[in-house]
Structures are given as structure tokens and as C-alpha cells.
Chains A and B, each alone.
Chain A
Amino acid sequence: MASIMESVLSKLMNKNVLFTVSFLVRLILVSFGVYQDRTMVVKYTDVDYHVFTDASKFITQGQSPYHRSTYRYTPLLAWILTPNVYLSHVFGKLLFITCDVLSGHLIYLLLRQRGLSCEAACRVCSLWLLNPLPAGVSSRGNAESVLTALVLATLLCLELRQLPMAAILYGLAVHMKIYPVTYALPIALSLQRKENGEEKRVGWWRRALGFLLRLLNKELFLFAGVAGVVFCGLTVLFYNMYGWDFLHETYLYHLTRRDIHHNFSPYFYMLYLTADSPWSLALGLAAFLPQALLLLLVSLAFHTDLALCCFLHTAIFVSFNKVCTSQYFLWYLCLFPLVLPRLTLSPKQGVELLALWFAGQGIWLAPAYYLEFEGYNTFLLIWLAGLIFLIINSFIMVQIVTHYKPPDTMQRLKAE
């Protein structure tokens, strides 16, 4: 039995087989979803997918997609999904699962670029390709895989020093969702010119000036310029087409979002209780400061390994955010396979951390279910569970940071 499992696994770790199987699995999920929607009361498809499709329908009628209430995304997404209306309702899901498998392929290419063998890279990226979470999310019709593909493609182009392409993809990613804007600082730091062995014994102001001059170089200006043009161009285009609605729903709503409904965020109960109080603004700012400080620190500490930096950035951003839903987890999960080869955690430790992460979600989901579907007043328990989840996430991030070995260290270790 064990030898059969081993031979199946080794055949699966062939690149072509792995990608074909993962695409087929997602295709089966989409088909099952269509069947379930038609026959059962509980639907497989996510509400968001209907929101996208309704918005696309408005576009095909020449109207603004923002006539669909709760459509809080870029008009580009509704435009891309217009074949949902013209061709088939399932087009969007097929697009999302394709982007999902494409994300897996980009992870594979990035891992190969970082020196992993074909088989090792397949094993690591199977963590994404054979993972039920991204497969389920994209087959249910969420658009997260489009963004993960854009972010991974940006990282790949940066690794290959294809700066104009990276900048275009980055501008597009920021246009679609705001959170990649936090990657600007690590990217800028990674594009700085290398130090050329200057004398270390200079005053701090000379070091600061040298740092600034190394930072503001031609490559940074090229990247910032192209990304800026793409982002501003798309903003101006859609502002002309849809006006203030576009700016508000796509960007401002997410920036000023004060969602008092229960969610994973540790700040949820505090924000619900103080929603109408004069302290609300000050507390919002107090919630923002730890996030900002940690993001700055991570950028300075790990910009040499852009994948780790972006992973920590997004994990911190999501964990310390004022609103946190399970969809956000995919934003950093897609970067985790890139980080994994450079961690010195044993498989046992890895599994324990994973179990801890799931346990943290379970501790939150239980009182949340009793609140929403049974009507018990479990607000206090949900608050405590949110704090516990933050502690667990912080612990896991500390373990990752502690067990991270930069590439030249690993090569030295291998040589010894």
C-alpha cells in the first residue's frame, strides 16, 4: 500500500501531470458547483460571483456597474466578465481557475529561478495546486486568483529584472486591490544600487545621504514611472467613465471601511462598541500604527528577499487590519510556497504551526456560528477568539522569521 502511494506521488510530482491534475480538479469543482446550484437550496457559488455578473450585465446595457449595490471592485473586473452575459454564466469561474493554476505555474518558475530542482519545485508548488482552499475559492467564483497571479507575475519579472513588465503588472495589481501598494517600499529598497564597499566610519548623515542616493536611482524611477502611468491612466479612464462612484467604491470604501459586523479582526468588537463615539477616529489611528510600524520594519529587514518581505507584509497587514475575512488569507498564502524552501523548520514543526493556524480559525468560527445562526450573545467570546487568533498569527510569523535562512547562508552551509 505504501509503495503504491509512493509511486502515485512520484508520478504526480511530474510537472505536466501536476498541472493537468490540478486544473482537472478545479474543473470538476466548477461542474459540481453548477450541479449543486441547480439542484440544492444551499448554493456552491459565492455571492460575490453574482455581484460581478450583475455588474457585467449593467455594463452590457451601457450603464455603470456601480448600479449593482455592494459591487466594490474595479470596473475592469466587470468588463473582463462580460462574456458571462454574452457567452456563458460559467466563463468567469473558468477564468478564475485558470488564473489559479497560472499562479501555481508562476510559483514553480520563481522556485526554479531561486535554484530549486524541478522535482523539489513541484513538491513545493503542489502546496498551492493541490490545496483545497484556493481551489475552492476560485471555483466558487471569487476573483482573488486574478490578483495572486498579478502579484506573483510582478515578483517573477522583478527576479528576472524585466522592470517595465514588472511595473505594468504592479500598476495593474494596485488598481485591482489596494493592498499591493504596501509592496512599494520593499520593491524600492530591492531596486537600490548596491553599496560599493565604502568606508564604514562616516557620520550618520553621510550614511543616510548615501542610502538615499542609492535608493533614488534610474531603475526605481523607471519602475515608479511605468507603474504610476498604468495606475493613473486606469484611474483617469474609469473616473471619466463612471465618475465619483468608481473612486468611492473601488478605493475610498476600503480605506475608510468601518465594518461593525463580526469578522476575524482583533479590533472588531472595539470598533463595534465605539462606532458612534467621538473616540472612533483616535482608535482607528491607534489600530493603524502597529500595522504601519511593522510594515516599515519588515521592509527594511527583509527587502533582500522580496518574496519573504511581501509575504510578511501581507500577513501582517491582514492580521493587524481593522477588517479581516477568510478571503484575505489567500493574499499571503500564495507567497508562502516561495518562502518555504528557505525555512529551517522541520516538517513536524510545520504541521504543528499549520494545525495551530486552523485551530485559531476554529476557535473563532464556533462562537461566530452561534451568534449568527443560533442567536446567542457570544460577542465577548468572538472578541477573545479574535485576540487569540492574532496571538497565534504573530507566533507563527515569529517562528517563520526565526527559522529563516538567507540564500548565501544556505549555500555556505551546503558547502561546509
Chain B
Amino acid sequence: MFVFFSTCTVYLVLFGSTQADENSCGLSITWLETVSVTMDVSKNGFHRDLVTTVDFGPGFPDGLEALLVHRLPSGIYIDQYQLASLKEDTGLQVLLGSAVDLEAPAHTSEEFIVLVYPALEQGSLKATLPIHGRYHKPSLAGKRFELVEIKLPKLILRSDTCTQLISFPPYKIVDAPCTVHNLSICQWLEIQHLQEQDPVSLEIPLGDGSLVEPVCAGTLIVTLLCCVILSRSIWRHGVF
């Protein structure tokens, strides 16, 4: 451990001073600036896929681990049981910050945090997260859809081979679980310059609150009518 630390320090001293390029465990600023995160929502309706891709320039450091910290809005939810089954099928690695109510409507739910450990796939890190739309409160103004915005996730990185991260502005150090098994906490470097893309949004259909009176009246009239017709038939043909 001491040998590693001293090697890192030597490395930093030698290369850190010769190149005006601060270095945190093999993560150089020039390389970090090539990192970009894009997010997209695929499929339609209430059940979608949130696809996050991390692209980077050449020179991917060995032993680099990435973690996407999603802050998801109250308008959607994630099914932890579906995640458990996907973990076995496709190897998707996701940690939920807290238990998610699968059935509550949007206005009684809150934002929640999801930690996604993307996998290396064809030269970039990718993760596909299945998300589901919650039912929203009916609109009173004739609005037919609710726009749910999902902000870009924060990307944090750490190195498996070097555990002593040195913070250097503008990047800061944060704590997060080392792996999806959530057995220990590691230090990660947060990449800051990525918040340029606009948030992605998806449309969730809304009930029309302005129709509440005709809907109630129509429902009660039809159910009462069916009740009366059925009662008449039973009264007529019943074996009393």
C-alpha cells in the first residue's frame, strides 16, 4: 500500500510539475475534458427506457470505474423487482437510494436517487434503465399531457488501482458505494462540466378534470340503468 502511495506521489511530482496538468490517479484534466454524457428516452407510453451513454476520448485509464447518479423526478418510478430480474438477465447494475412506492400517484411521490453502474459497451459506457410513468393529477385546464423532465445524471469516477484521489478544482471528491453490492464506501471524483445538455422530457397522458361532471353523470346514469334493467329481469324470472 505504501509502495503504491509513494509511486503515485512520485508520479504526481514528476508529471504534475513538468506538465501543468493536474493528475488524480491517472485521470488527467485533458482526458477528463473528453468525457461527455448523453441521455435519451426510448419507447412510448408509460413504460420507457432511459439510455445513458458516457463517451470519452482515447486513453481510457485501466481499472476506471464509473457511476451515474440520477436524480429522478416524482413523475416516474422504478420497479426494484424488475431491476432484480434484469440484473440476472442482462447484468444491469443499479442501486436504489430508497424504497419506491410502485403505485402512488405523482403528486404524493417525491424525487429519488438512483445509482447506475454502466457497463463498457463498444467503446463507451452505457446503461439502459427501465422507467415507468406515474399517474398524474387530472388537469383542469384541458392540458392533455404532463411533461416530465429528467435532468442529466452526475457522472463520478474512481480508479480501482489507485484509491487516493486528490481533489483539484473544478472537480470535487464525493463518497459513494464502491460497487453495486453496496458493501463499502469509496471516494469518487465528480465530473462537473457535463451539465450542458438540456434535460430530456417525456409526456405522460393526463385525465381531463374539466370533464368531471359529465363523466360522473354518465357513469352513474349507465350503472343505474343497467341495475334497473337487471333488477327487472331478476324480479320477473326469479323463483321466489
Contact = CB atoms under 8 A, between A and B. Distances in A.
Interface stretch (A140-148, A199-207, A394-402): A394-402
Contacts of B223: 266-267, 287, 290, 320, 390
Contact of B239 (A41, A379, A406): A406
A247 interface: no
Interface in A360-394: 371-380, 383, 387, 390-391, 394
Given A272-B138, A273-B212, A304 B226 contact: no
A401 B233 contact: yes
A293 B45 CA distance: 39
Contacts of A273: 138, 207-209, 211-212, 215-216
A305 B239 CA distance: 9
Kindly name the residue among A261, A304, A378, A401 whose own CB sees the greatest number of chain B CB atoms within 10 A. A401
B154 interface: no
A391 B222 contact: yes
A361 B15 CA distance: 71
A11 interface: no
A269 B208 CA distance: 10
A270 B219 contact: yes
B145 interface: yes
Contacts of A371: 45-46, 205
Given A375-B45, A380-B211, A269 B205 contact: no
Interface residues of B, number: 46
Nearest to A409: B239
Of A274, A298, A301, most buried by chain B (CB within 10 Å of CB) is A301
Given A270-B216, A371-B205, A300 B240 contact: yes
A50 B226 CA distance: 38
B105 interface: yes
A302 B206 contact: no
A396 B170 CA distance: 72
B234 A269 contact: no
B226 A274 contact: no
A293 B135 contact: no
Given A402-B233, A402-B237, A372 B45 contact: yes
A260 B135 contact: yes
B238 A380 contact: no
B216 A283 contact: yes
Interface in A282-306: 283, 286-287, 290, 293-294, 297-298, 300-302, 304-305
Contact of B46 (A51, A267, A372): A372
B151 interface: no
Contacts of A54: 81
Contacts of B209: 273
Interface string A258-282: 0111000011011011111101000
Nearest to B202: A375
Interface in B200-234: 203-209, 211-212, 215-216, 218-220, 222-224, 226-227, 229-231, 233-234
A50 B88 CA distance: 14
B233 to A, nearest CB: 5
Interface residues of A, number: 59
B235 A301 contact: yes
B230 A394 contact: yes
A269 B227 contact: no
A408 B122 CA distance: 77
A70 interface: yes
Contact of B215 (A51, A372, A383): A383
Contacts of A328: none
Nearest to B231: A297
A408 to B, nearest CB: 10
B70 interface: no
B137 interface: yes
A43 B88 CA distance: 13
A316 B218 CA distance: 20
B47 interface: yes
B212 A274 contact: yes
B121 interface: no
Nearest to B226: A394
Nearest to A312: B234
Contacts of A298: 234
B234 A372 contact: no
Nearest to A403: B237
B10 interface: no
B144 interface: yes
A169 to B, nearest CB: 26
Contact of A300 (B206, B224, B238): B238
B232 to A, nearest CB: 9
Contacts of B203: 375
The 4 lowest CB-CB distance pairs between A and B, nearest first, are: A301-B238, A290-B227, A377-B205, A394-B226
15 contacts: A261-B103, A266-B219, A269-B219, A270-B219, A272-B135, A273-B212, A277-B212, A290-B226, A294-B227, A297-B235, A300-B240, A371-B46, A371-B205, A374-B45, A379-B207
Interface of B: 44-47, 81, 85, 89, 99, 101-103, 105, 135, 137-138, 144-145, 203-209, 211-212, 215-216, 218-220, 222-224, 226-227, 229-231, 233-235, 237-240
Interface of A: 41, 43, 47, 50-51, 54, 69-70, 259-261, 266-267, 269-270, 272-277, 279, 283, 286-287, 290, 293-294, 297-298, 300-302, 304-305, 312, 316, 320, 371-380, 383, 387, 390-391, 394, 397-398, 401-402, 404, 406
